[in-house]
Amino acid sequence: ILVNGTPIAFFSVDKAERHFYKQKHLQRLTAVATQASLALQKASLLKQTQDHANRLAALNTLAAEMARATNVKTLCQTVSQKIREYLSYPYVSVYLVDEANHEAVLEGVAGVNESDLPSVSYRQPLDAGVLGQVVKNRRYELINDTEACPYFISEGQIKILSELALPLKGNGRVIGILNIDQLHKDAFTETDIMLLTTVADQMSTALMRTQLLEETQQQLRNVQKITDFSLALRQVNSSEEILSLVLKQLVAAINYESGVIFLSEDHQLVSRYSYPENYYPLGLAHPLDAGISGHVLHTGKLHFAADIRYDHWFQLMPYESKILDKIRSMVAIPLFTENHIVGILSISTTEKTILSESQKQMLVTMGDLAASALYRAQVLETLEERVQMRTAELASANEKLKELDQLKNRFIADMSHELRTPVTNLMLYLDLLKYGRSDQREQYISVLREKGRQLVRLTEDILSISRLDLNHNTLQMSPTDINDIVAIVIEGHRQQAIDKNLTLNIFLQNNLPKIMAEPSQLAHALTHLLNNALIYTRQGSITLTTSLSSKGQVILDITDTGMGIPQTDLDHIFDRFYRGEKVGSLNYPGTGLGLAIAKEIVTLHNGQIKVTSTEGKGSTFSLYFPPVLVDKIENTSNGQKVAE
C-alpha cells in the first residue's frame, strides 16, 4: 500500500489451494490496495489538518493566557502549566537569566508528578548544562539521548531521556529559556521544534512586555518612596533623628532586615547607628581602604553583594564573625556631598536576593538625599556648638584657673601630709643614730635607708601625677601591641615573684588588634598594677591574660590570689593617696598613688579599668582598650597630637 510512492503497509490474502490466484485476482487486490492507500492518505491529511488546527488553537489560547499575565512570575508559571496541558508534554519549565549572578533561575514548572519537580527559584550556573549551551549559542538545543550527553544536568528526581531547550530573546540577548523534557529517547520531531519555536517567540514578546510593565510599576513605586523619603527628611533636624530615619527607610525600601551607618571620622569609618539597635555595635572603626566600604569610597558607587561569602571585596573584621554569620546579601551605599565624604550606609538580609537596576538607582538617589541632609545637620550642629564654645570660653578659662589653684592647694596639702611621716621618722632615727645605743646602729641605718627609699618612691609617684596633670593632652601615641608591653613589664618583675615564691602565669592571645598607646606610659601603668599584686600577694600566683571582647575591645586581666580588697574600700582605691584601713594597719609599703596613676594613664588611652575582688581570695584588675583598625596611621614623629 503506497502513499506518495512510499510503502506504508502490506495487504496480504491467503488460500489453502495451490495455484488458486490468477492475474484477475491480482488486479482486483491491487485495486483494493489502491483504494486503501487513498483512504489512508485522506485520513492522514485529515489528522494532519486536525493536529495543525489543534496546534493553532493551542497557540492562540497560549497567546491569550500570556496577554493576561501582569507579572513575570505569573507569566512563567502559566506558560509552563498551559504548554503541558494543551500540548501534552510531560515536563515543562521556564528559566529567567540573572546576569548579575550569572545564573539561570527557575520561575515556572509543571509536570506529570509534581513531587518530582525542582522547586521554584532553583538556580543553575549559566555556563553549565543544556541551559548554558542555549545562552552561549543563542539558539535552541536538542538532546535526543540525555544519557549520551556529557553536559546534561538532571534538575529533579525524574529520569529525563530527551530535552529541548529554546532561548527567550529580548533586546538582542537571551533573557530566559523554555525547557521541555520527555521520558523517552528521540521524542522530538521537526514539528515539535517548529511549534515550540513559535511558542518561545510568543513568550519572548510577552516576557519583554511583562518585564517592562513591572519595571514601569517599580519605577513609579520607587519615585513615590523617594518623594516620601524626601518629605520625611524635611521633618527632622538633628543628626541622630536623620540617622534613624535614613536607616529604617532604606532597609524597608527593598525589604531587607538590618543595616548600619558608618560616618567618616578622623580618617576612619566609625559605626554610629544600627537598625535594629542590637544588630551592630556602635563606636567600632573600619579603615578607609579595606573591604566593601573601602571599595565604595574609592569608586564612589553603590556596591551590591548577592552573597557576601563569595564577594571579591568583602573583608570580615575580627569582631564581625558573629554579627555577619547569617548575612547573605548586602548593599553598601556611599554618602557623599559635592566635596565631602559623609560616610557609608550598609543594609543587609539573611536571604540571597537579586537587586534590579531600578532599585539600585532608587537607593543611590535616597543615599544622596540622606548625605545632603546629614551633612547640613552636622554643619548646623557644629555652628551651634561653636557659638556655645565661644560663649563659654571666658567662663571655661576662669574655671581652669580655679581648678589649677585647687590642684595647687591639694598638691601642697597632700605633699605636706605624705612627707610629714617619713621626714619625722628620718629625724627620729638620725637622733637615735647619734644618741642611741651603739649596738643598734646597723638597725638604725637600715631603717633610714628604707625611709629614704620611701621618700624616693613618693617623689617619683608625685612627679608622675604632676606630669599626667600637665601633659594629659600631649601623649605621643602610636599603634601598639599590648602583648609586647606585657612581656617587657613581666620580665622586669620576674625575679621579684621568684623571691616571694609566687607563680607568675602569662596567657597572651595571638593576633590581637593593636591599640593607640604611648608605650612608656602604658608600661608605667602596668608596672604599678603588677607591683600592687606582688605587694599584696603572700602566696599563690599572679596571672596576666590578654584577650578580645565580643565588642572588639582589647582586654588585659591581672589576677592575684592575695588578700583581696574589702567592699568598703572598692569605691576609693583609685583616689590619690588613698590606702585602706587594713593595709595601713598591716604596714604594707606604698604611697597610695600607684592605682591612681594607673587609672589616669588608662583613661588617657581611651580605656577603662575595672576591679573585682573577694576579701581573702584575691583581686582581678581588668583593662579595656579600643582597637585600632586603620592600616595606615599618619606619621606622628613631629609631635602632632594623635589621640586624647
Cα Rg, the chain, nearest whole Å: 43
- Enter the C-alpha cell of residue 145: 539521548
pLDDT digits (tens, 9 = 90+) for 194-211: 888 888 888 888 888 888
> Residues 174-196: what's their mean pLDDT?
87
> Residues 430-457: what's their mean pLDDT?
75
Question: Residue 348's beta-bridge partner residues?
Answer: 258, 330
The alpha carbon of residue 539 and the mean position of all alpha carbons in its chain are separated, in whole angstroms, by 48
* Per-residue model confidence (pLDDT) at position 121: 67
* Per-residue model confidence (pLDDT) at position 272: 85
Neighbours of 526 (CB within 10 A): 26
Helix (H, G, I), strand (E, B) or coil at 265: strand
Q: 162-170 and 141-143: which strand pairing?
A: antiparallel
553, 626 contact by CB (below 8 A): yes
* Per-residue model confidence (pLDDT) at position 610: 93
Neighbours of 307 (CB within 10 A): 14
Q: 478-480 and 515-517: which strand pairing?
A: antiparallel
Does the structure show a pLDDT above 60 at 365? yes
Does the structure show a pLDDT above 80 at 125? yes
By CB neighbour count within 10 A (0-12 exposed, 13-18 middle, 19+ buried), where does 208 fall? middle
Q: Between these two residues, 232 and 634, which has the higher pLDDT value?
A: 232
Going by C-alpha positions, the residue among 488, 494, 574 that lies closest to residue 524 is: 488
544, 506 contact by CB (below 8 A): yes
> Residues 257-272: what's their mean pLDDT?
86
177, 168 contact by CB (below 8 A): yes
Question: Residue 618's beta-bridge partner residues?
Answer: 614
Q: 258-265 and 103-111: which strand pairing?
A: unpaired
Does the structure show a pLDDT above 50 at 636? no
Sheet holding 541-548, edge to edge: 503-508, 541-548, 554-560, 618-625, 608-614
Q: Between these two residues, 462 and 353, which has the higher pLDDT value?
A: 353
Q: Between these two residues, 255 and 47, which has the higher pLDDT value?
A: 255
Does the structure show a pLDDT above 50 at 372? yes
For the chain, which domains are there?
Answer: 2-54 (no CATH), 69-216 (3.30.450.40), 236-383 (3.30.450.40), 471-625 (3.30.565.10)
Neighbours of 242 (CB within 10 A): 22
* Per-residue model confidence (pLDDT) at position 129: 87
* Per-residue model confidence (pLDDT) at position 545: 95
* Per-residue model confidence (pLDDT) at position 458: 64
pLDDT digits (tens, 9 = 90+) for 323-344: 888 888 999 988 887 777 778 8
Does the structure show a pLDDT above 90 at 540? yes
104, 93 contact by CB (below 8 A): no
| Cα–Cα separations (whole angstroms), residue 366 to 247, 255, 332 | 10, 15, 13
Sheet holding 329-336, edge to edge: 285-287, 268-275, 258-265, 341-349, 329-336, 303-305
Percent of the chain beyond pLDDT 70?
81
pLDDT level of residue 640 (50, 70, 90 thresholds): very low
pLDDT digits (tens, 9 = 90+) for 614-624: 988 999 999 99
Nearby residues of 528 by Cβ (< 8 Å), 6 or more positions away: 594, 595, 597, 598
Tell me 233's DSSP state. Answer: H
Average pLDDT, the chain: 80
**Could you write out the DSSP letters of every residue in 93-159?**
EEEEEETTTTEEEEEEEEESSGGGSPPTT-EEETTSHHHHHHHHHTS-EEES-GGG-TT----SSS-
C-alpha 344/C-alpha 272 separation (Å) is 11
* Per-residue model confidence (pLDDT) at position 378: 72
Tell me 512's DSSP state. Answer: P
